[in-house]
Amino acid sequence: MKDNKDRDEVLAAVKKDGYALSNADESLQKDKEVVMAAVKQAGAAIMHVDESLKKDREITMAAVMQDGTAINWVDTSFKGDREVVLAAVTQRGEALNSADEALKNDLEIVSAALKQNGRVLEYADESMRKNREAVILAVEQDGFSLEYADESLKKDREIVLAAVNQIGYALQFVDESLMADREIVIAAVKKDGYAFEYADESLKKDREFVKEVIQYDGDALEEAAEELQNDPELKKLAEG
């Protein structure tokens, strides 16, 4: 913009690029119409809003609905506002990290966040990491989120299977008692052969099991016991 004090010019600029608000004159960073236009175009532009308008709930809602990460720059009071937080995490799951601690154990809010990004289970209250419903949502969206689940749920076969079916490498976060579970290991290998690295050593030495595994992904042979990696039949099967 040529003139950052010209209201019409600034308004036109922020409608095209909300972040243009950063170059606007301070008087226009207090102008509700200008600010609303900016945050509707780019929610995170709320970082450039005058403090007086950061307490405006209408502007805050518009910002987080456009970009959930805008919650990082809203007035602190809104981080504990259930409606604002729900709108933010529904748009971007990562917004859960900035929510008030009191809302991180709210199943509806946490579930909305997990549907966007399973790994934000890391930011949820401990009670949610023990909540089976929440953890299933998380691992179905991103298998790696199993890392943040309570240890008790890393022994849950249904949850573990959902995780490795989503990302084979999630096998590394499974309770040791399930690393020798053939169905779980095969499911992981089907997604990524190298996930066999995290299987129990007994399975890596089991020739018949290794033979079965490499039929799904030949790369798994590289993670088998050394004496089996040079087995002619297995090598041929892996290369085939």
pLDDT tens digits along 218-228: 999 999 999 99
Q: Percentage of the chain surpassing pLDDT 70?
A: 100
Strands (E), the chain: none
Return mean pLDDT, the chain: 96
pLDDT of 49 above 80: yes
Give the model's confidence band at 137: pLDDT under 50 very low, under 70 low, under 90 confident, else very high: very high
The model's pTM: 0.89
Q: At 10, which helix (H) or strand (E)?
A: helix 7-16
pLDDT average, residue stretch 24-36: 96
pLDDT of 2 above 80: no
Angstrom distances, CA of residue 75 to CA of 43, 61, 90, 109, 239: 14, 12, 19, 19, 59
- Amino acid identity of residue 237, one-letter, is L
pLDDT tens digits along 160-198: 999 999 999 999 999 999 999 999 999 999 999 999 999
pLDDT attached to residue 192: 96
pLDDT average, residue stretch 12-29: 96
Give the model's confidence band at 1: pLDDT under 50 very low, under 70 low, under 90 confident, else very high: low
pLDDT average, residue stretch 29-41: 97
- Amino acid identity of residue 115, one-letter, is K
pLDDT of 240 above 80: no
For 62, the token pair is: 């518009």
pLDDT average, residue stretch 8-37: 96
Give the model's confidence band at 3: pLDDT under 50 very low, under 70 low, under 90 confident, else very high: confident
pLDDT tens digits along 100-118: 999 999 999 999 999 999 9
Query: What is the C-alpha separation between 44 and 55, in angstroms, rounded?
Result: 15
